[in-house]
Structure formats: structure tokens, C-alpha cells
Amino acid sequence: MKTAMHALLLLLLSVTFTPDCPAGEVTDEVSLEALPASVVRTVPQCGAAAVDSNLSEISVTFSKDMKVTGHCWSWCSVQESSFPVLSGATEYLEDNRTCVLHVALEPEKTYAIWINVDQFQSFQDTRGHPAVPYLLVFRTGSGE
């Protein structure tokens, strides 16, 4: 039994920590241009536990310029109840890396928003490659 558990553990470790396991598109080149865009900043910050419920914009900034024409975003709900009420049009800032979602937040509520997930991959770089999925989770404070 001990030998079987040891073999299973080694197998799991080799799968989990193999550096050659690509996420997304397979490429032979490791460069900023070849690899997919990734989230480098969110407002509010992921994991924040006392976000001001008066915050009217949620933003995500990517590691490279993004496709900004048309409907080029995928703000996706984890559950309908954890997605904020929209209060305006979604837009990209002039930096072509930051997308802003206009919202109305409630006090003492946890929000969970996927940035690209499953078949919803509209956040794409200028070459049309989807950004790496990212889960933004935060909680608003009491609003006092």
C-alpha cells in the first residue's frame, strides 16, 4: 500500500509541476509577443475584503495591447448573484490594455467575475490570441 501511494504521489507531482505543460495555445517560442496576454492589475485588487461599495468602475489591465474594436471583452459570471449590476457601457482606456466595467455595487457582498473562461474568450491581444483566464473575487465593506 505504501509503495502504491508513493507511486501515485510521484505521478501527481510530475503532472502538477511539469514545466512544459502549456496553458492555452502551444508555441515553441517563449516571448512577450508569442505568449498570451495575462492580467497584471485589477481594480479592485483580487482578494480585497473591504472594497468601497461606492466604487463605480471595475477594471482589468493586461500585459499587452488588446483588440479594442467591437465587443472585445468577456466579463463572465461565476453565478448570476455574484456578478455586479451594470451601470454603463464597457470601454477600453486609451492605453489599449485596460478595460473598464461600469457597475453599481452593494455593501457587504462578495463578487466573483471571470475574465475569459470556457467558450467566452473575447479578451484577445491584437493578434487575436485569447488572454489567459483570470478569476477576480472581492468583497465590499459595510458602506458606512
Q: Mind listing the pLDDT tens digit for each residue in 105-128?
A: 999 999 999 999 999 999 999 999
pLDDT over 60 (residue 21) = no
- 3 state DSSP class of 12: helix
Average pLDDT, the chain: 85
**Is the model more confident about 17 or about 59?**
59
pLDDT for residue 94:
96
The answer to whether the CB of 45 falls within 8 A of the CB of 24 is: no
The answer to whether the CB of 43 falls within 8 A of the CB of 131 is: no
For residue 130, give the DSSP letter. Answer: B
Average pLDDT over residues 25-33: 73
Which percentage of the chain shows pLDDT scores above 90? 72
Rounded Cα distance, 58 and 100, in Å = 6
All domains of the chain in start order, with CATH: 36-139 (2.60.40.1220)
pLDDT for residue 12:
37
pLDDT over 70 (residue 27) = no
Cα 66–Cα 111–Cα 36 angle in degrees, nearest 5: 25
Predicted TM-score (pTM) of this structure: 0.79
Q: What is the DSSP string of 77-117?
A: ESSGGGSPEE-S--EE-TTSSEEEEEEE--TT-EEEEEESB
Rounded Cα distance, 113 and 12, in Å = 29
pLDDT over 70 (residue 17) = no
pLDDT for residue 78:
95
Cα 102–Cα 106–Cα 109 angle in degrees, nearest 5: 115
Least confident of 29-38, 56-65, 131-140: 29-38
**Residue-wise pLDDT tens digits, 53-93:** 999 999 999 999 999 988 889 999 999 999 999 999 999 99
- 3 state DSSP class of 133: coil
Rounded Cα distance, 102 and 133, in Å = 20
